[in-house]
Amino acid sequence: MTATSRAPRRPRIRPRGPPPAPPTPIRTARGARSAAADERVLAEFLEASLRVPDLALPPRAPRKRFFSFPPAPPPPREVPSQALASGDADAALRAASAAAESGAFAVAGAIDASEVREAVEASRAVFAAPDEVKREQLARWFRRKDDEPTAGGEEFCWFRPVSPDEDRALGAALPGSTYRVFRDRMDTVASRMENVAKNAIKVLSDNVKNPKDSALFTEAPSILRLTLHNSCKSKTSWDEFGSTDPPNSHALNIHLSERDRQICLRNQGGSTIFTSPAGSMLVTIGKQVQEWSNGQFRTAVGEVLYEMTDEPGPFISLELVYSPDDLHLSEVGRQARCIDRPKAISFRDQILVVLILLFLFYVFWR
């Protein structure tokens, strides 16, 4: 009897539920069923077997601003020249508020535009002097941006007040009556600019709240700067003039032009471009006044813009860098500070008063 071998049985795994019936193959219209019926059966099968989770996108985060540009400051406030000179309270308050907000204010009606044009035309003969004379005899008054005369422009510095020695040196260096005509016409313009600067200093001195106890004293002379802008440059930046102080170390800067000009005013809050009428002066605050006022009045810088399309030839801009001899408190402000500030009596004086009272009491009431 032969033994028969049997293969081991495989374990049966019972499904937990009946599997879905697979769809029948898709048939063509030639068969018993149509293709449309097969597609419907396939769609029902997929819908029953697939479980697609509900997905939701995260909420959209707000966009971050990487650059934030401050708004452009408004144009400087305008103050009438006569009201500023007469000490009008409203004009003085307007000028002081503008100096505290933007560091600049405009003075209208300070000078006739025709006088400025005559002075500018007279100064063209000064710039037309030979280069050898500018380098040798007039080196103290002339400054050039670049080595080439036609590359960047020139600047003529007229120190105020003019000493007799400087007056003779300028008259001898410039040919004929060039300097005499320039001095007669430009002296009128410079005097008007200095008057506006003095009135502005008085207004700031009357409206300062917490100035430094020491007076603002400087030995730097005031400078009338005449800048010749050539057609190939829209603006020029100058270095210091020898032993004189840079512009920021002065008290005020007065800008004046013979025709309507666009000026870019820059301060810590940004920059703005506005049109300055002919004969109108722009007063900007310097570093001396800011330090003297403990930051109440802000510094600002004004720069004349050159439009090459409207004016193909060079033009001349005027700027007075002003520094007063001293800047004290006004009498009204000084008296108010003395009244408001209580007087402190030292301990030694208090003891002396007590001893005197004790002596009088001992003499009269003994």
pLDDT of residue 44: 75
**What string of pLDDT tens digits covers the 366 residues of the chain?**
445 555 555 555 555 555 556 555 555 555 555 555 667 777 777 777 776 666 777 777 666 655 555 666 788 999 999 999 998 999 999 999 999 999 999 999 889 999 999 999 999 999 999 989 998 899 999 987 554 444 457 899 999 889 999 999 999 999 889 999 999 999 999 999 999 999 999 999 999 988 876 555 555 678 999 998 875 444 434 333 333 344 446 899 999 988 898 899 998 888 899 999 999 999 999 988 998 899 999 999 998 886 655 555 678 889 999 987 655 444 434 433 433 444 456 667 778 777 888 777 777 776
Q: Which residue has the tokens 């809050």?
A: 269
pLDDT of residue 238: 38
Domains recognised in the chain with CATH numbers: 79-213+220-322 (2.60.120.330)
- Say how far apart CA 301 and CA 263 lie, in whole Å: 10
pTM greater than 0.75 (yes/no): no
Q: What does the block give as tokens for 130? A: 């030979």
To 5 degrees, how large is the angle CA 13–CA 19–CA 20?
170
pLDDT of residue 237: 42
